[in-house]
Amino acid sequence: MNSSLSLNSRRSSVSGRRGMVATSQPLATAAGLEILRQGGNAADAAIAIAAALNVTEPTSTGLGGDMFALFYDAQTCQVTALNGSGRAPAGLTRERILRAGLSPALPAHHPYTVTVPGACAGWCDLLERHGRLAMSAVLAPAIALAENGFPVAPITAHFWQAGARQLQTALNGHELTLNGRAPQPGEIFRNPGLARTLKTIANGGKQAFYTGQIAEAIVTVLQQAGGVMSAADLAEHHSDWDESISVSFGEYRIHECPPNGQGLTALLAFNLLEGFDLAEMAPLSTERLHLAIEALRLAFADSRWYVTDPQFDRIPIVELLSKEYAAQRRKQINPRRATLDQQPGGPFASSDTVYFCVVDEMGNACSFINSNYMGFGTGIVPKGWGFTLQNRGHNFSLDPQHPNRLEPQKRPYHTIIPGLITRADGSLFGPFGVMGGYMQPQGHLQVGLALLSDGLDPQAALDLPRFCIDVDQGQQAGAVLLEEGIPWRVAAELAALGHLVKPVSGWGRAAFGRGQVIVRDSASDTLTGGSDPRADGLAMTLV
């Protein structure tokens, strides 16, 4: 472990005009640029990046997990949302879990937490609707990285080491280790199993994943581990195309994917803060941070109750995102005191991850997120295929009255969310996102305010120190983590307002997520991008 590694950034934003990629891994950025150079568009490059990240950052993402994407079509100025998340097995019931003595919550890495991996279908569906190139061409860079090996980036090596013990005990987890240990920074890692997986998908598409040998291996290893996923669960999986959900914020419109993702949280918070004169407050001032924290507490109180699979419960999206509801909820914010026990409102009239983004030369944009959840997920590997299976089902509630209660073939509350901003005339402002559990909507709000209210460039917006409300286990009243760089005076003043503040530095800064931003100037078509200093990656443009 490189204990001297600094997470501070002094880099500038990157600018260009012929297309841009921003990712958490330099090799993944290179893969996306290679596809753009071959004539691919933002969708093609996005899949190439997702696959390359599966190779280079398996600590965060992979084909055993899920994905969501927002795609901006430059010709129509329309934003479409792709839900590539999987469902619980048909045989997994609350009663089964209670009989196994696993209440009040599923253990984080239990095989029951494995939902159907949705990433592969999502990749294929995005390419089919919006891409130009064949899957074989798009996956070629990742296949080469997996076969030939790559030097592991420093921050990735740190988190690989943190997950090594889990891989040592999980079924076939050794496939993601070097003789049982994590690779060191700069050490070459090869993954022939994942190369085999990617080649199989390149030749046979999503059917090769969900009905072929890969599916058989997934079912076999989960049965060995004590899970209940069946071949039918995999064969019946499908992605969903939706309209984005959005709110206006001044002269901009902020887009998120609809539930079962938590993008609703960010939109609720933006709506609440639109009623304050944020431009008169410094970004790291006590007044600004207090209002943002309070807005997010209210937003989480609503989203942690209302976000669920819309196929199982009605979610009042229109009502929740109305300006009238925001005005009603805004009255709950006390500018001079923290309120730690916010409850869900009633809006009815009369409820670890990789993020990256791409903008191509034509002005199409893809905001994309892919995740295992909790690092390596369960750490369980289908034998010989080189990827771990997610534990996204850990987010289900075992409360039978909760909208997000566990039910067979249901999608759980999902933390991963891509974001995208357009201007009032429908033109692209840019894709943006911050990865990292319940930090994600908090990061969307903070980075979005830095871009839209403070006029910061993408890199400066990402460099700005952040706060994170600890809302794990649904406790939106939790402590407020304050990143190194937020003034001590501000921390003391927030504490005096009633916030339980906890300063965080060093490797603990992982709690504040890792983001990417690309902004497009509508007059000159210039692209400006930034990449989070809390990760290994960078933004880069074509020459």
Is residue 432 within 8 Å of residue 419, measured between CB atoms? yes
178-188 as b/e, with b when 16 or more CB fall inside 10 Å?
A: beeebbbbeee
Q: Which of 56, 197, 353, 378 is catalytic?
A: 353
CA angle at 438 for the pair 130 and 65, rounded to the nearest 5°: 45
Two tokens at 2?
């490189």
| Distance separating alpha carbons of residues 435 and 352, to the nearest angstrom | 7
- Distances in whole angstroms, Cα of residue 213 to Cα of each of 89, 218, 384, 530: 19, 9, 10, 40
| Axis-axis angle for helices 323-330, 263-273 (nearest 10) | 70
Q: Is the dihedral of CA 169, 172, 177, 180 positive or negative?
A: positive
> Among candidates 369, 168, 175, which has minimal Cα distance to 257?
369
- Distances in whole angstroms, Cα of residue 460 to Cα of each of 8, 457, 482: 12, 5, 18
> Among candidates 532, 370, 518, 418, which has minimal Cα distance to 36?
518
Two tokens at 102?
């696993």
Cis before 382? omega within 30: no
DSSP string over 9-69? --PPPEEESSEEEEESSHHHHHHHHHHHHTT--HHHHHHHHHHHHHHH-TTT--TTSEEEE
DSSP letter (8 states) at residue 469:
E
**156 flagged as catalytic:** no
Provide the annotated active-site residues. 353
